[in-house]
Amino acid sequence: MGTASSTLTQYDIEDVQEHCNNLFSQQEIVSLYKRFCQLDRSAKGFISADEFLSVPEFAMNPLSQRLLKMVDGLNFKDFVIFLSAFNPKASTPQKIELIFKVYDSDYNGKVSFQDIMEVLRDLSGSFMSDKQIEEVLIKVLEEAGYSKDSSLLLGDFVKILDHPGLKMEVEVPVD
Amino acid sequence: MSKLKSSDMELDFDRPNIEDYLSTDSIQEPSGKLRLRDLLDISPTLTEAGGAIVDASILSLSGDSFTRCFKSNPPEPWNWNVYLFPLWCLGVVVRYGILFPVRVLILTLGWMIFLSCYIPVHLLLKGHDKLRKKLERGLVELLCSFFVASWTGVVKYHGPRPSARPKQVFVANHTSMIDFIILEQMTAFAVIMQKHPGWVGLVQSTILESVGCIWFNRSEAKDREVVARKLREHVEGPDNNPLLIFPEGTCVNNHYTVMFKKGVFELGSTICPIAIKYNKIFVDAFWNSKKQSFTTHLLQLMTSWAVVCDVWYLEPQNMKPGETPIEFAERVREIISARAGIKKVPWDGYLKYSRPSPIHRERKQQAFAESVLRRLEDK
């Protein structure tokens, strides 16, 4: 299923389901495939950055550029695997892992002070100066026992973010 | 995909605060002392992005995303079994083999009659403007009736047509260019339209000129001032045909209305709303201009059984004291949507043609920044 075919076979569905650890039902996978084909207008087998940006709600998201780096060029199977973090049945560590990957833009397994600064810049736009962001970040880092030079690993993220209030759930519309 | 030009940004000062529509309930207003966890937790923003990617319904209070307004939903195939399939085949034969040629004949006849009357009238009565205009109006109405007949248009008109008064503008929801034809067969309106290429453009520049038409070009930002001026001039001219405007600015699939552009609501005229609803059982009248040309669209209509629709002429509205043009526009949109039984969504139709402006992102960023700075103060 490397290139887009307009039909999704039962075998493909089961294959994708297996790869996302059965988080999505077969109906949801079919629904996601319809959505994938709707976005992949030129039927290339992957969705380009431009095609993602044609969804207005995505384009206006402050983290759209960072997310684009992660989703640009994904084939359908990887698209579903990416979205599985949003499944209500996904574990909290799996969700935190997605959050970690958004911060860790160079994929070196470490999130530095600079990485966090960049995300905060995206989120606050022109409404907070770099100085303000730095001050706030240093303050909360120190209160949590880290310093400006600390590099946070996935384990740190899990420790910091794992709490029952963390919700990152999207329901796949099924016709 | 064209890049967002700076001229496109002028489009957004039209619309009311979208944040009023977008649900902030999904993002709980955080409070209390700011901790590292709060700063790092980007899950709400990611959830919005994820929802956008899968087209989930969490994104707006009305529960419908932008792309749904322009989706043509093909009806469930009903010809799937051994009894229904031959019936369907028979239907195809009747539609393409009998109805279509008859309709083409009717349309050709209509054009012939129209042209043979219009051209002489237009050339010979140059001096007698009032009479000429009256005849041309009647001829255009006639031609539109022929068009409607060529799709076996069954149009039910409801409500008293408002009598012609000065400073009156008619507004309607927009599904296809045939909206114009259906309304025009009853009353020769003047319209404001996007200039189209091909034969449609030719018709626009010749015949429609005679009923009075204002052209615009969506991609020209400066165009808006020019158009606003032309609108004002037209409405104030006593001899001009009543103006018909589709304030959505684009064709929508007749299940939703997108936001009305405020331009016509600022003129200080009486607004006469018209609601149009097509019956999808017979044909889906939505013209997806990105997917098919107008010619293809017409051919599709001419090979269907019928175009059945309801047209409601609604009570004329005036701007209430203390109401802004945007509020007025939304109030009229509510009247039309309620009458036609379709949903309102908070999207700007022009998003079909250009990217959303940075303003939306900026509003989110501002909310985030203010929340962080505020909580920093909390001890």
- With bands split at pLDDT 50, 70 and 90, how would you rate the model's confidence at B352? low
CB contact under 8 A, A163 and B57: no
DSSP state letter for A21: T
Write the pLDDT tens digit of every residue in B271-314. Answer: 999 999 998 888 888 887 777 888 888 888 888 888 899 999 99
B360 chain-A contacts, CB cut-off 8 A: 60
- Decide if B376 contacts B94 (C-beta within 8 A): no
DSSP A148-166: TT--B-HHHHHHHH-STT-
Write the pLDDT tens digit of every residue in B190-229. Answer: 888 877 778 878 887 777 777 888 877 766 667 777 888 8
B370 chain-A contacts, CB cut-off 8 A: 127
Whether this model's pTM surpasses 0.80: no
Among B1, B40, B47, the residue with its CB nearest the CB of A170 is: B47
**Interface contact A138, partner B, CB < 8 A:** no
Residue B270's DSSP bridge partners are: B168
Write the pLDDT tens digit of every residue in B84-102. Answer: 888 888 988 998 999 999 9
Helix axes A92-103, A64-71, angle to 10 degrees: 110
**Interface contact B108, partner A, CB < 8 A:** no
A58 chain-B contacts, CB cut-off 8 A: 49, 52-53
- Decide if B148 contacts B142 (C-beta within 8 A): no
Chain A to chain B Cβ contacts (< 8 Å): 155
* Mean predicted confidence (pLDDT) in A148-171: 89
Q: Between β-strands B343-348 and B256-259, what pairing exists: parallel, antiparallel or unpaired?
A: parallel
Question: What's the full length of chain A, in residues?
Answer: 175
pLDDT reported for residue B305: 87
CB contact under 8 A, B364 and A62: yes
CB contact under 8 A, A56 and B355: yes
Write the pLDDT tens digit of every residue in B106-162. Answer: 999 999 999 899 888 888 877 777 888 888 888 888 999 999 998 888 999 998 887
Torsion of CA A75, A79, A81, A84, to 10 degrees: -170
- With bands split at pLDDT 50, 70 and 90, how would you rate the model's confidence at B10? very low
Q: Which residues of B274-311 are buried (b: 16+ CB within 10 A; e: fewer)?
A: bbbbbbbebbbbbbebeeeebeebbeebbebeebbbbb
CB contact under 8 A, B46 and A168: yes
State the ipTM, two decimals: 0.92
Q: Cα–chain-centroid distance for residue B287?
A: 10
**Interface contact A141, partner B, CB < 8 A:** yes
CA distances from B52 to A10, A63, B101, B313, B346 (A): 27, 12, 46, 37, 15
- Decide if B248 contacts B34 (C-beta within 8 A): no
Lowest mean pLDDT among B1-15, B49-63, B210-224: B1-15
